[in-house]
Amino acid sequence: MFSQKLAQQSLRRLAVQQPLAMRSSMMGASPVAVALSKNIQTRQVTSNTQDPNEILVQQRLRRPVAPHLSIYRPQIGWIGSSLHRITGVALSGTLYLWATAYLASPALGWHIESASMVAAMGALPFAAKVALKTTLALPFTYHCMNGIRHLMWDLGRGLTNPVIIKTGWTVIGLSVASAVGLALI
């Protein structure tokens, strides 16, 4: 079996390196000679005045682009996991920005203490209050609900496609319902 692989590799190497000499190699050079690199055609190195970085840029421009996401049908599993990460980053980023602004507000003369926030929220119309509160609550509720789903996956439960689809839509429905419920409080 090893000798067959060696012969195949030798013939392939010969066919790639000397395509026109392939016919004569069948009669002349043995596969062992090709495998041991005794029958390899070489070419002279030419000096190139072009910048190596420029050559690399040109090669990258001619590379095919992988279709990755554009060829796949969106599925609730990977969309849900992506949104889980996005909401986690958004929630933590918002927390850090708010905490930094709250700590810096006395030095900057901003009034973002609780009393001024309550007064600003109280001045808004009811529809604006519900819309603003829903917008703020939706990432939190989605991240919490989907976090429970991820914990179930970590336990090895619900890893079949029908269950993943069902729980994905359930998480979306519960998240929207609970966000609207929190906004109406």
The more confident residue out of 4 and 180 is 180
Task: Output the pLDDT for position 42.
Answer: 66
**Structural domain harbouring 173:** 83-184
Instruction: Determine the Cα angle at 81 with ends 78 and 87, to 5°.
Output: 135
Query: CB pairs under 8 A, 24+ apart, for 97-103?
Result: none
Asked, for residue 51, whether it belongs to a domain, the answer is no
Going by C-alpha positions, the residue among 155, 141, 182, 150 that lies closest to residue 168 is: 150
Asked, for residue 171, whether it belongs to a domain, the answer is yes
DSSP string across 40-108: ----------S-HHHHHHHHHHHSPPP-GGGGSPP-HHHHHHHHHHHHHHHHHHHHHHHHHHHHHHHHH
Task: Output the pLDDT for position 43.
Answer: 63
Torsion region of 68: left, alpha or beta (phi above 0 gives left; psi -120 to 50 gives alpha): left
Asked, for residue 61, whether it belongs to a domain, the answer is no
Asked, for residue 105, whether it belongs to a domain, the answer is yes
Contact assessment for residue 119 and residue 56, using Cβ atoms and an 8 Å cutoff: no
Instruction: Determine the Cα angle at 68 with ends 63 and 70, to 5°.
Output: 110
In this predicted model, what pLDDT tens digit does every residue of 9-33 receive, in sequence order? 777 776 666 555 555 545 556 666 6
Asked, for residue 27, whether it belongs to a domain, the answer is no
| pTM of the predicted model as reported, rounded to 2 decimal places | 0.63
Q: List CB contacts of 122: < 8 A, sequence separation 6 or more.
A: none
Task: Output the pLDDT for position 47.
Answer: 63
Give the CATH number for residue 175: 1.20.1300.10
The more confident residue out of 24 and 176 is 176
Joined together, the tokens standing for residue 84 give: 């889980």
Asked, for residue 6, whether it belongs to a domain, the answer is no
Asked, for residue 117, whether it belongs to a domain, the answer is yes
Asked, for residue 143, whether it belongs to a domain, the answer is yes
Q: How many domains does the chain have?
A: 1
Q: Taking 90 as the threshold, does the pLDDT of residue 180 lie above it?
A: yes
Task: Output the pLDDT for position 66.
Answer: 76
Q: pLDDT category, 126, cuts 50, 70, 90?
A: very high
